[in-house]
Amino acid sequence: EPISNNPQQKHSVSAQEKGLGAGGSVSGNGRPNTAAGCGGGGGGLSGGLTQPAGWQSLLSFTILFLAWLAGFSSRLFAVIRFESIIHEFDPWFNYRSTHHLSTNGFYEFLNWFDERAWYPLGRIVGGTVYPGLMVTAGLIHYLLNLLNVTVHIRDVCVFLAPIFSGLTAISTFLLTRELWNQGAGLLAACFIAIVPGYISRSVAGSFDNEGIAIFALQFTYYLWVKSVKTGSVFWTIGCCLSYFYMVSAWGGYVFIINLIPLHVFVLLLMQRYSRRLYIAYSTFYIVGLVLSMQIPFVGFQPIRTSEHMAAAGVFALLQAYAFLQYLKDRLTKQEFQTLFFLGVSLAAGVVFLTVIYLTYTGETAATMATQHHSLAQHMPSLYFSPLPLINPIKPVILNLDTERLFDPVLSAFAVYFAGVMVRLMLTLTPVVCMLSAIAFSSVFEHYLGDDMKRENPPAEDSSDEDDKRNSGNLYDKAGKVRKHVSEQDRPEEGLGPNIKSIVTMLMLMLLMMFAVHCTWVTSNAYSSPSVVLASYNHDGSRNILDDFREAYYWLRQNTDEHARVMSWWDYGYQIAGMANRTTLVDNNTWNNSHIALVGKAMSSNESAAYEIMKSLDVDYVLIIFGGVIGYSGDDINKFLWMVRIAEGEHPKDIRESDYFTPQGEFRVDKAGSPTLLNCLMYKMSYYRFGEMQLDFRTPPGFDRTRNAEIGNKDIRLKHLEEAFTSEHWLVRIYRVKKQENRQALDHKLRNVAAKQKYTSKKTAKRKRGYVKNKLVLKKGKKLNKKSV
């Protein structure tokens, strides 16, 4: 199929036919024309006066634009209520690296060695990130500045995800249109624009990989379906580029590289091999593989790790299949059978060996998943909210038995992955949106569009012409369920106008409630920033607790530029981003032993901790303490994690059981274990808190988070001193005291002539060598030539 024959054309033609067909039927029956569906009957009677195709594209354009707008604006709650900054913890790193990229250029970014993280190890940022997000934001910033639109990189970062949500809506529209029809596409676009599962990762101010990755995901799917449909290398290359973008943006690209082979595999199983499929997959696999290896972080993973083996296997299978097909044409049946047998046994042997090899070396997805389970998710899981919607409508989908395979494959896979890893629920969201859109679309077609259908029963078949034209296609054209007139008439005869209107109303109600629900969820669950805390008074006025930024900014302004700040890893990115200071550990938790060392320092007593801190060159210690305002996400509540991680690496020094009471409780009051009451974290959290009486009903030193009076009120610090505490005590920063200077000597050091070292003959080989005619360095002016 040629390149120029794009879907729009085809669609407009078929739409025109539809419109005119409706017109014809109207004249035949003399019934009034009812505009049904998406502008189908817009230009019905007069034919040439108005162009239905024009109406249709205008309508879809408007709907898509509005979906974009709705998606964009519903993500702005946090920005409007608070301000245009990066609101979450993790994205601060992304923002910081984007800032680095935009100020120092792309190559500097790729080669960036961040000495401000993981002190003293540092981090090679360019090689350990998916750079897609930063490059996208940097590119937009660069382009805007090229056009003299002086937007700050921060604003680009803040609004990137909402803008990309619009692109996601459009690519979802394209994909659904390819899989089903235009109407379902528009519905899907509207759904994905406001669905909370996706909003959770793409609100303004959350500058996360997922924000752009979902767009790349959907767009890659679209291009893949397109390329399988057309078998054109053009679309496949487009698909590869989109895949490349996806790889550069998010680790979830593994999802694609498994899904597409699965699709191909299922098609092969169903005997739907075609040359188009062969062209599409072979091109995709090779070009996609090469492209994906260009990302430094991915490197050689695509040919090494087991997650990518499915793709390789299917590639080999497809080649074998194609080869057999070729041979089939050339050989007699007998020859072919022998050959086939041989080939199959050979392949089985290879597969067997591969499996054995992989079980020894490969890392399986399951272990990955369990690793991720241990990480706490910041967002409440309201991911499932769009799911109930689809359930009642599922039978409809099942009734409409079609051959569009991609959809079921995609959904099955997504459900599986979402089950394995909660975070991957994100990949399920678009699928759910598409499926429910299809369901709604069919329901509406059924109940709204039947007037037209009855008057003009074969209206559906009008598009069959397309079908015949592209009879070689794997997938049917949109909305061409072949039904006979008589069949179609029968069930609809029973549908009175009342039922129709009731069903329609119900559906509309459902959609409306869905929109309201989505907005509610977005506004309540996903739009409260974690950088700024807000509390509301009785009269509804708002109190902003800006302690995090207060303390971070204090660090930024009033500590040495190269000061090293020790804190638990949760705050690493923020300290690096907002305070611009060197951290020991951060949210990129790549070095467990380093984290364990920090955990050990936090959970040891002060003098032991001081040794660790001295060895790590720590200047400041930052902790989060919520006891004054009742903030539950503070370090004491996370403390057991520190202990556990420290115990994992240093089982001799730290034992989790020491921190529990004999009854096995974790208590901060008098009954708490003495180890806990004297560890550094406890001391730093409650330093001088014992004197503080928060209100008259509670004793001094009453911890509001844990609702207990603290057990150790007389805390003295020897090696640390309080450097800063924020207004609501949320962030406390301690300075590690330098060792006191020794007394200066009042006499000169004795000058001892170094003895000639005696070297025995036995160790003669090890004696220090000397160079004959050794060059003598003359100190003086350096020549212009730069020495290496």
Partner 1 sequence: MSPTLRFCPCLLLAVSWLLRAAAADGLVNEEVKRTVDLSTHLAKISAEILLANQGGSPVQSFTLALEPELGPHLAYVGASVKGEEEEDESLELKETAVHGRSGTFFQVQLPSALAAGGKLRVKVETVLTHVLRPFPSHITQAERQLVVFQGNHYLYSPYPTRSQSTRVRLASKTVESYTKLGNPSKNDEVIEYGPFKDVAPFSQDTMKIHYENNAPFLTISSITRTIEVSHWGNIAVEETIDLRHTGAYLKGPFSRYDYQRQSDSGISSVKSFKTILPASAQDVYYRDEIGNISTSHLQVLEDSVEVEVRPRFPLFGGWKTHYIIGYNLPSYEYLYTLGDQYALKMRLIDHVYDDQVIDHMTVKVILPEGARNVHLDTPYVIDRSPDQLHYTYLDTFGRPVLVATKNNLVEQHIQDMVVHYTFNKILMLQEPLLVVGAFYILFFTVIIYVRLDFSITKDPAAEVRMKVASITEQVLTLVNKRLGLYRQMDEVVNRYKQSRDTGALNSGRKTLEAEHRTLTNDIAALQARLKAEGSDLAEKVGEIQKLDGQVKELVNQSCQESERLVAGKVKKETYITSEKTLAGKRQELISRIDSLLDAL
Residues forming contacts to partner 1 in the complex (CB under 8 A) are: 2-5, 13, 16-17, 20-21, 23-25, 27-28, 30, 47-48, 82-85, 148-150, 456-459, 461-462, 464-465, 469, 485, 532, 544, 546, 549-554, 556-558, 577-578, 688-689, 691-692, 721-727, 729, 735
CB of 85 to partner 1, least distance (A): 4
Residue 691's CB: how many other CB atoms inside 10 A? Answer: 9
Quick one: 232 or 442, whose CB is closer to partner 1? 232
> Is residue 585 packed enough to be buried (19+ CB in 10 Å), middle (13-18) or exposed (0-12)?
buried
Q: How far apart are CA 451 and CA 42, in angstroms?
A: 15
Quick one: 600 or 732, whose CB is closer to partner 1? 732
CB of 6 to partner 1, least distance (A): 10
CB of 424 to partner 1, least distance (A): 32
Quick one: 374 or 739, whose CB is closer to partner 1? 739
CB of 17 to partner 1, least distance (A): 7
- Residue that has been written with the tokens 């790193």 in this structure: 93
By C-alpha distance, which of 208, 204, 199, 203 is closest to 98? 208
Under 8 Å CB-to-CB from 398, ≥6 apart: which residues?
A: none
What residues are paired with 679 via a beta bridge? 605
Specify the 3-state DSSP secondary structure of 374: coil
> Up-side HSE of residue 322: CA atoms within 13 Å toward CB?
16
By C-alpha distance, which of 702, 548, 715, 680 is closest to 606? 680
Quick one: 148 or 756, whose CB is closer to partner 1? 148
CB of 306 to partner 1, least distance (A): 42
Quick one: 645 or 723, whose CB is closer to partner 1? 723
Quick one: 434 or 452, whose CB is closer to partner 1? 452
Q: Could you give phi then psi for residue 542, rounded to 5 degrees?
A: -110, 140
Quick one: 87 or 308, whose CB is closer to partner 1? 87
Quick one: 465 or 649, whose CB is closer to partner 1? 465
Q: Where are the alpha helices (DSSP H) in 132-274?
A: 132-146, 153-179, 182-194, 196-199, 209-230, 233-249, 253-269
Q: Classify strands 123-124 and 113-114 as parallel, antiparallel or unpaired.
A: antiparallel
- Residue that has been written with the tokens 């990309």 in this structure: 164
CB of 30 to partner 1, least distance (A): 7
Q: How far apart are CA 319 and CA 316, in angstroms?
A: 5
Quick one: 229 or 549, whose CB is closer to partner 1? 549
Q: How far apart are CA 422 and CA 618, in angstroms?
A: 36
Q: Classify strands 731-736 and 720-725 as parallel, antiparallel or unpaired.
A: antiparallel
CB of 41 to partner 1, least distance (A): 14
CB of 558 to partner 1, least distance (A): 5
CB of 724 to partner 1, least distance (A): 6
CB of 166 to partner 1, least distance (A): 18
Under 8 Å CB-to-CB from 460, ≥6 apart: which residues?
A: 453, 479, 480, 481, 483, 488
Exposed e or buried b for every residue in 73-108, given b needs 16+ CB within 10 A?
ebbbbbbeebebbbbbbbbbbbbbbbbbbbeeebee
By C-alpha distance, which of 132, 205, 219 is closest to 168? 219
Largest CA distance in the chain: 122
Quick one: 354 or 470, whose CB is closer to partner 1? 470
CB of 5 to partner 1, least distance (A): 5
688: region left, alpha or beta (phi > 0 left; psi from -120 to 50 alpha): left
Quick one: 259 or 459, whose CB is closer to partner 1? 459
Quick one: 45 or 515, whose CB is closer to partner 1? 45
CB of 559 to partner 1, least distance (A): 10
